[in-house]
Amino acid sequence: MTASLADYESLALTLARDAGALAALRQKLVRNIAAAPLFDADRSRRNLEAAYRRWQRLRRAAARREFRGGRHRRDSSSANIPVNSPVNN
């Protein structure tokens, strides 16, 4: 990783000219893959499943609040029908 465009260019030229430095960098990257979250499929799967479980709990809690009257939802098709209308009786 470099801090500036000039440093990046310098590193790119060094790696292009020095096959040993390029090989060492590749070996380092291969070693680091094992610890990188991006390549840890099992951990990513567990995190995604946990996120789905949290989302399901939130949806169930919201449904319970709605059922108990915490949020009143009106059917948009009956929003303009008066309460005493024959449609409601």
Q: Which of 30-34, 36-40, 46-50 has the highest mean pLDDT?
A: 46-50
- The pTM assigned to this predicted structure is 0.42
Residues 28 and 15 in one domain: yes
What kind and span of H or E run contains 65?
Answer: helix 41-67
Q: Report yes or no on 2 lying in a domain.
A: yes
In which region does residue 4 sit, left (phi positive, over 0), alpha (psi from -120 to 50) or beta (all else)?
beta
What are the pLDDT digits (tens) for 52-88? 999 999 999 998 888 777 555 555 555 555 555 455 4
What are the pLDDT digits (tens) for 9-21? 999 999 999 999 9
Instruction: Residue 17: give the domain boundaries.
Output: 1-35
Query: What is the number of domains present in the chain?
Result: 2
